[in-house]
Every structure is written in structure tokens, then in C-alpha cells.
Structure 1
Amino acid sequence: MPMRKSVLRAIKWLVLGAVVLFVAYGGWLYWLFHGGVFATSRFDSTAWSAKQTNESVSRCYRGGMAKHVKEQVLRPGLKREEVVRILGQPDFEKSDEVHYVLGMCSGLRIDFDGLHVYFDSTGELERVAILQH
């Protein structure tokens, strides 16, 4: 009889542990698919344009603002000059795109993430993407 109680107790703890892991995993997935690290703060022009050091570049120094910038600050139809006025000089640019480094935000922090702003042939904002490099 005592062995049976210990087996039932072990099963109860295993089931409870599985439920806790399932709920934690579900919460993590929800956080991840609703912006994750890229949705931790609102756009702050002072923080966005702050001078970076060698140490800060290895952190996710702009990443927390990326989703807010992508979905609320930059709107389709903005001219390139307006985007540069809002976000400052880009870190990289091409004729149809500007790119702002967000820092090392994803995974093991071995790759940089960037906010890419794409323009159509008339120079108006077409879309914004957060990409890992």
C-alpha cells in the first residue's frame, strides 16, 4: 500500500509539472509571436539616436522600440526625408531602402537585427521589416 501511494504521488507531480511546462511554453509562444523582444517599449527619439559604444552595440539597444516604430511611427506614404527626420541618418542605405541597426536582439546574440524601410519608385514608404542578419 505505501508503494502505491508513492507511485500516485509521483504521477501527480509529473502531471502537475507537465501542465506548468505547457502553460509556460504557451506563454512564451504568445510573447514571441506578439513581438517578443521587439515590442518591449515605445519609440523614444532620444534613446533611438543615442551615441553607441562598443559595449552597447552588442546589446539590443534599439530592438525594444522596433515594433512600435514599424506599426505606429512609420506609415506607408511617408517620404524618405520624413523617415530620416524621424529616425535620423540610417546606418546603411540604398536607392530604395534605408536600414537601421537594432543591436543583437535575437537568439544567442551572435547576429545583428535591423529595421529595414523600403521605398517605392516615387520615394514613398512602401513597407517596414525587422530582419536578422
Structure 2
Amino acid sequence: MVISSTAKKIILLVLWIVLLIGIFKVLGAILSPFNGDKFDPTIWKAPMTDYDLSNCMRGGMADDIVNKVIRVGMQRERVLELLGKAPDGHDNKDQYPLGYCSGIGADVDYLVLYYDAAGKLIEIDIHQY
């Protein structure tokens, strides 16, 4: 089978695009303000000061929490044991402030947890308002 020069150029272009997307995803993960710190319950549960918010004190623990500490399907009571009471929690949603971590630092990032009617964790999100 012979591949035309146009097809070869298209294949090469697609491969370059896939490579660039992969590089950007890896760099994004490495440079993310939400990874790098192991979850420390003492730091996490301490009241957030303005200094803590400004310096994203909890932000570096977010990925560790999402990947190793809590998981979808966990009961809300268990999550509260691990993370403490959410400063902004009501109905089916708990929000934990992470600090001014992403973007231009104008808005606070939050770890947002959603529960079903039975109190099971159904969604985990890092969100900036």
C-alpha cells in the first residue's frame, strides 16, 4: 500500500498535535497549584487566615485529597471526619476554601464536594468562583 505525500503530511500533523497536547497536559499537571503537598489534617483543619488564603495554604493538598484521602461513594460522615466540617456546607454540597491559587489570584479556589440524598459522595470538583 502506498501512502500519498498529502496523507503523510496529515498523519505527521496529527502526530505533532497529539504530542503537543500531551506535553501541555504533563506541564499543566506539574505546574498545577493543587498538587505537591501531602494531606496534613492539622494544617487542613486549622482555621484559614487571610495569610493562608493569600498563600494558597490548602491548595497544594487538593490533589492528594482527591486521589488518596476521599473517594466517590464515601459517606458524608466519613468525609467530615477526615476533612472537618466545611465552612460552607449545606444541603448536598460542602465547600472547603483552598486559597487564591489559580488564575490571576482574584478569586478563591474551593474543593467542592457533592452528595446524593443518601449522603454518598457523588462528585468532587476544584472550582474557582
Alignment pair present for 1:37 and 2:51? no
Aligned counterpart for 1:69 among listed residues 41, 46, 65: 65
1:108 CA displacement: 1.6
When normalised by structure 2's length, the TM-score is 0.75
1:39 touches 1:65 (CA, 8 Å); kept in 2? yes
Percent of aligned pairs with the same amino acid: 35
1:39 touches 1:64 (CA, 8 Å); kept in 2? yes
Aligned to 1:13: none
Aligned length: 108
Question: One-letter code of the match for 1:73?
Answer: V
Question: One-letter code of the match for 2:113?
Answer: V
Give the 3 Å change call, closer, same or farther, for CA 124–94 of structure 1 in structure 2: same
Give the 3 Å change call, closer, same or farther, for CA 126–116 of structure 1 in structure 2: same
SS at match of 1:64: helix
When normalised by structure 1's length, the TM-score is 0.73
| 1:66-98 C-alpha deviation (Å, 9 max, x unpaired) | 011112111122111111110011011121111
Aligned to 1:112: 108
1:58 CA displacement: 1.6
1:33 CA displacement: 3.9
CA RMSD of aligned residues (A): 1.9
1:34 CA displacement: 5.5
1:55 CA displacement: 2.1
Aligned counterpart for 2:89 among listed residues 63, 69, 93: 93
Aligned to 2:53: 57
Segments of structure 1 that go 5 or more residues without pairing to the other structure are 1-25
